[in-house]
Structure 1
Amino acid sequence: MPKGPQRYPGASTRYWFQNKFPGNVQQVNTIVLHTTEGTAVPSYAGGSQAPNFTLLPDPRSKRIVAYQHFDFDRSSRALANKPGGVQTNTLNVTQVELVGTCNPSTHNKWAEANRAHVFWPQAPGWALEGLVELLVWAHREHGVPLAGPNSWKP
């Protein structure tokens, strides 16, 4: 059974997909951070490819807006198993999508077009603080390690 609160305080459940895609209960011990190339919350194919969380930077207010799509200790859809593919989510993972880009050419194109965005390899402090708040909550409430042999791999 999961331990700790399943909802991240202050996260919006506007795009809640667990009722449609219930997934499996798990005891999360790993968080995967992944960028979603864009400047808005994706549709995630109606939730069929959604992560547990989406963190949307708001450059105007200099804050992160958190959206939660599944309970913390629930498998999401972003790391789905495909027939004949590699087994996924064998480490009890919660996936967090970071809206923005990690692609230098996309960053340059958006910057030239004056399109507000976060380039995650050079994320501003306010964006990193918003991410850190979620990671610290996961550590405090669920014991997810903040460091270890698999921490912070690109």
Structure 2
Amino acid sequence: MKIKNQFSGPEFPENPKIERHHADRFAFNLSFLTRDKKYNLEQTKTINKQVRLKLLERMYQLSQQDIVGVMNLRKEQGLEQIPETQTSVSINPEFKASKRYDECNSDDFWVFRLGKHGRVLGKINNNIFYILSIDAIFDQYDHGS
């Protein structure tokens, strides 16, 4: 008995177009900084030129590599996650009203360091890092570790 095979297999174009995949990098958004002057970019004793310069430097560094790479860095160079319940960040009401808060990937804050100048707290939605607060006086969460 002979069985006839009717399977012809997949068909491929002669010259397949190969699309390059773009690495996702962070884009930083400062639109929703807290209204609390101690933790936003208004010129104060705590948010001075050194803090502003370090913030710009760190945003540049973190946007130079793909998100997966940044997430795999140690917390001193990359990001760390802090539960929102363990912070005292005053979230800009416009951030919540815009529904961006609800669209973020986690209920936690993401933090990156400005060395001895402070910490930056924000939320992440896909590749957008919403900077919500700049903690230059180290009092918005426990820095014990």
User: Could you state the TM-score of these two structures normalised by the residue count of structure 2?
Assistant: 0.24
The structure number with the bigger radius of gyration is 2
User: Could you state the TM-score of these two structures normalised by the residue count of structure 1?
Assistant: 0.23
